[in-house]
Chains A and B, each alone.
Chain A
Amino acid sequence: MPVESLFPRLEPLLPRVQKPIQYVGGELNSEVKDWDAARVRWALMYPDAYEVGLPNQGVQILYEILNERDGVLAERTYSVWPDMEAIMREHGIPQFTVDGHRPVAAFDVLGVSFSTELGYTNLLTALDLAGIPLDAADRADGHPIVLAGGHAAFNPEPIADFVDAAVLGDGEEIALAITELIREWKDEGEPGGRDEVLLRLARTGGVYVPKFYDVEYLPDGRIQRVAPNRNGVPWRVAKHTVMDLDQWPYPKKPLVPLAETVHERFSVEIFRGCTRGCRFCQAGMITRPVRERSITTIGDMVENGLKASGFEEVGLLSLSSADHSEIADVAKGLADRYEGTNTSLSLPSTRVDAFNVTLAGEFSRGGRRSGLTFAPEGGSERMRRVINKMVSEDDLIRTVTTAYENGWRQVKLYFMCGLPTEEDADVLAIADMARRVIQAGREATGRRDIRCTVSIGGFVPKPHTPFQWAAQCDHETVDRRLRALKDALRGDREYGRAIGLRYHDGKPSVIEGLLSRGDRRVGRVIRAVWEDGGRFDGWSEHFSFERWLTAAEKALADEPVDVDWYTVRERDEVEVLPWDHLDAGLDREWLWQDWRDAVEETEVEDCRWTPCYDCGVCPTMGTEIQIGPTGRKLLPLNVV
């Protein structure tokens, strides 16, 4: 079946939309492969606007890995803005890929990467524009397999009605395995149609197909059990873990957009996983164990990526980049290599640690020292023990003092509000900490132009973390505590003007909480919100709390549950959680113990430097910690 480009129909309409370049494609290193020469075709979607989705590493990695294979084709598609959606509906133009401008419905797989649950309504828009039935149950043999991935896919139950399948964990190997399975099934003449290929995927144990699992509920609304309903479908579905990241040095050819995007840099993931054990952090729990890229692979990736892209900035990504076993040599080696080239290096996600100031110094050699960011996360020592963020206030003061002494004028501190066991005093302690920071900066430098910005996010309990059982703080309490903090800072004559405060109201966190820990019944809420016009829920200008509440009230009217039940209710140990049949490798008893430890303010060390404490991941998944040091160094480049 020949598939025509939709671009000739789209082009005359582009002058009518905002930022038309985002729909045009043609990014450097993008690729349009021959449709007919491909046996398996993927449409990869990031369910947010192009400017947010284009830089996404996961999509770029899969795009490159799939396109490298003969007989496999991958193109990308992003959420279109409401102005474009209206025009597409008016002219009958379906959801298209930006590479070949091919209709998404023509692909074998629509793979959607969910970094956040707030992209769920955008999935529905894309499906509807594509002409793919919203309900997986209504899809016919010719429709793509709608496959969810990304961190949010560790609990895909709220979108179980809309996706055909979900995969947990690292995508590199499983995407290729799925491709092979589909290719075989197609080569056999597609026996048994859609049902058969989904069954084959489910039987591998590495792909979750919601329709092959029945969920039964207790009269009070809790889940009674989740059980497979077909022979050969396993009780639990396991996450995927790529070992030896040096074997997977992607992206090799980073996509360079013409349009402006949120990250204008080449990013290299220097390691995956984190075992710091912060109890609020879903990423740290579901990506274990730590697997480092070696210093030499990092050096090669940076060099090749800069050449292939022309980017001016390199970001060394990970969940806690300063924890790489050879980060000092990486930093110095790269700083030496690129000194005087106007190439800048950045290290997002750093810990509160004076060592990080030294690192940041390497990265800003000769450049501007505008601001450093640290994340104590909790305002009081007690709060930080609860969340296992092992930073003392003295550590922080030492760290910022070093920063101010080394020329930085501004420090940004990141906190959360609404953490389990939190009391008003824990949040007010943030003000004390900020005051001490300014005081230390003034003493260290003798200057008055020292600043500190406090940024606060609302805490949302996430699946597969010790806080998965916790009651989410209601938004009224969050807002009240933040107001009190603001008043405390504003009333401070000595330090108040040197301290900036940034926060959002607590309402969006409630909906994120509903979607994070929701079960299949929440799908009805998502659908109702979407039907009422809900789009781009991650954008404050599009998000409507009232719309979500109204939709939830209607959609859950016949159920013994409501938004509060999903969010502010604490769960007990025996309750079946909606994601219990999805295996991140974490031992449930260990998670529960860690939750009890949190309440008792007991800390847990990092297993990279202390004996294994049996979180369960390595033995369950057959993985191990992969860290250096390798002892190697980065050699100077042969300058052209």
Chain B
Amino acid sequence: MPEGPAPAPVIQRLRVRYAKRGRLRFTSHRDISRAVERAVRRAGIPVAYSAGFTPHPKISYAGAAATGVASEAEYLELGLTEPRDPERVRRELDTALPGGLDVVDVVAVPPGSGRASALADRLEASEWRVRLDGIAPDEAAAAVAAFLAAEAVEVERLTKKGRRRFDTRPAVSRCEVDRRASEAADAPCAILRMVVRHTTPAVRPDDILTGLRQIADLAPPSPPLVTRLAQGPLDAATGGLTDPLGPDRETAQPTGDGAGTAAVPALRPPAVGVDAAGAHP
């Protein structure tokens, strides 16, 4: 039986936005979680551990981008046993992680906000950039128009549960060719921008490319370069995404001591909330 005292409880939760860039896009989700655990240890961040025979660090991930897909907006949450300045954690974790796994933003979850504000629930959709080398922007635009005009675009994919057939069209809230970016690229290509809802089964950018191939014979000669630009709540008015850490930032403003802050030691400067808010333009 495990001996000794119970593990120290979580007294601060930090939400971390990180990017997966360049050759590091070939890391799998498991690779990243190992790298983060080691970086947390090297950086001396006081992460909490679960109880039991094999204690695990309290690090949770929200919807990770697939192996080979780059991302500017991945999210994880750290449970700490001591409060830390989020900006300091951002710096230290970024230094300890390999270049290409870059920590973009760290926000403290306001005490008392509880499960109801689970980060995963706020990640309603993703914005993607998909670079198709060797495809002319006009050709891509025609395919996108045909896709958007369709009632349904069913595709098939091998999932963990076997071969599944599903409709990709309803998940796509926006899709267009970024002509300026396409023309500015270093080689002939078409660059797509799309906002896709997180549904079950998940509709991935490559499912949409499969759909474009089916509906308009759009067949890129080489594997596309896919980057997740953002994740967050879907803004019904604009069809775009808002910052999923926004609510934490707002409530993290020093608005006086609520019941929920009682657990936080007094040495924590109220300025932390201001710092975190200030870090994000």
Contact = CB atoms under 8 A, between A and B. Distances in A.
A21 interface: yes
A633 B68 CA distance: 49
Interface stretch (A11-19, A228-236, A497-505): A11-19
B223 A12 contact: yes
Contacts of B68: 14-15, 20
12 contacts: A7-B23, A16-B223, A20-B26, A21-B26, A21-B31, A24-B24, A258-B27, A309-B42, A310-B37, A312-B37, A366-B4, A367-B54
Interface string A258-282: 1110001000000000000000000
- Report which residue of B23, B28, B38 has the largest number of chain A beta carbons within 10 angstroms of its beta carbon: B23
Contact of B26 (A14, A312, A640): A14
A11 B22 CA distance: 10
Given A7-B23, A20-B67, A367 B4 contact: no
- What 4 A-B pairs come out closest when comparing CB atoms? A310-B38, A368-B53, A310-B42, A15-B223
B50 to A, nearest CB: 10
A27 B39 CA distance: 13
A366 B4 CA distance: 7
Interface in B100-115: 100
Given A256-B38, A258-B24, A312-B41, A26 B2 contact: no
B53 A258 contact: no
A308 B38 CA distance: 10
Contacts of A14: 26, 68
A28 interface: yes
B31 A11 contact: no
Interface in A1-60: 7, 11-12, 14-16, 19-21, 24-28
B34 A264 contact: yes
A340 interface: yes
B27 A367 contact: no
Contact of A309 (B38, B53, B57, B222): B38
Contacts of A310: 37-42, 96
B98 A367 contact: no
Contact of B31 (A15, A258, A311, A367): A258
Interface in A113-159: none
A259 B23 CA distance: 13
B55 interface: yes
A21 B28 contact: yes
Size bin of chain B's contact surface: 20 to 34
B35 A258 contact: yes
Given A258-B98, A260-B31, A367-B53, A340 B38 contact: no
Contacts of B30: 260
A447 interface: no
Main secondary structure of the interface of A (DSSP, over half): loop
- Report which residue of B31, B41, B44, B49 has the largest number of chain A beta carbons within 10 angstroms of its beta carbon: B41
A21 B53 contact: no
Size bin of chain A's contact surface: 35 or more
A596 interface: no
Contacts of A259: 31
B227 to A, nearest CB: 13
A465 B183 CA distance: 69
Given A258-B35, A310-B42, A310-B96, 18 more contacts: A7-B23, A11-B23, A20-B26, A20-B67, A21-B27, A21-B67, A26-B98, A26-B99, A28-B98, A258-B27, A258-B98, A307-B42, A310-B38, A312-B37, A312-B38, A366-B3, A367-B54, A368-B53
Nearest to B99: A26
Contact of A366 (B2, B31, B35, B42): B2
Interface of A: 7, 11-12, 14-16, 19-21, 24-28, 256, 258-260, 264, 306-312, 339-340, 342, 365-368, 407, 640
A26 B41 contact: no
Given A20-B26, A24-B23, A367 B2 contact: yes
Contacts of B54: 367-368
B218 to A, nearest CB: 18
Contacts of B28: 19, 21
Contacts of A339: 4
Nearest to B97: A28
A306 B42 CA distance: 8
Interface of B: 1-4, 23-24, 26-28, 30-31, 34-35, 37-42, 44, 49, 53-55, 57, 67-68, 96, 98-100, 222-223
Contacts of A342: 49, 55, 57
B89 to A, nearest CB: 16
A264 B223 CA distance: 32
Contacts of A258: 24, 27, 31, 34-35, 98
Nearest to B101: A258
A25 B23 CA distance: 9
Nearest to B3: A366
Nearest to B100: A26
A286 to B, nearest CB: 35
B23 to A, nearest CB: 5
B235 to A, nearest CB: 32
Contacts of B100: 26
Contacts of B99: 26
A258 B24 CA distance: 9
- Report which residue of A7, A264, A366 has the largest number of chain B beta carbons within 10 angstroms of its beta carbon: A366
B186 to A, nearest CB: 12
Contacts of B35: 258
A14 B55 CA distance: 35
Contacts of B55: 342
Contacts of B2: 366-368
- Report which residue of A7, A16, A24 has the largest number of chain B beta carbons within 10 angstroms of its beta carbon: A24
A24 B54 CA distance: 31
Nearest to B56: A342
Contacts of B27: 21, 258
Contacts of A367: 2, 53-54
Nearest to B53: A368
A260 B34 contact: yes
Nearest to A15: B223
Contacts of A365: 3
A86 B133 CA distance: 23
A24 B34 contact: no
A269 to B, nearest CB: 22
Nearest to A10: B23
Nearest to B57: A342
A259 B26 CA distance: 10
B52 to A, nearest CB: 9
A26 B24 contact: yes
Contacts of B96: 310
Contacts of A24: 23-24, 26
Nearest to A26: B98
Nearest to A259: B31
A256 B57 CA distance: 19
A247 B268 CA distance: 47
A17 to B, nearest CB: 10
B88 to A, nearest CB: 15
A310 B42 CA distance: 5
A311 B38 contact: yes
A25 B24 CA distance: 10
A394 B249 CA distance: 67
Nearest to B30: A260
Contacts of A28: 38, 98
B6 to A, nearest CB: 12
B92 to A, nearest CB: 12
- Report which residue of B3, B28, B57, B96 has the largest number of chain A beta carbons within 10 angstroms of its beta carbon: B28
A366 B96 CA distance: 29
A368 B44 CA distance: 25
Nearest to B35: A258
A553 to B, nearest CB: 42
A580 B153 CA distance: 72
A368 B55 CA distance: 10
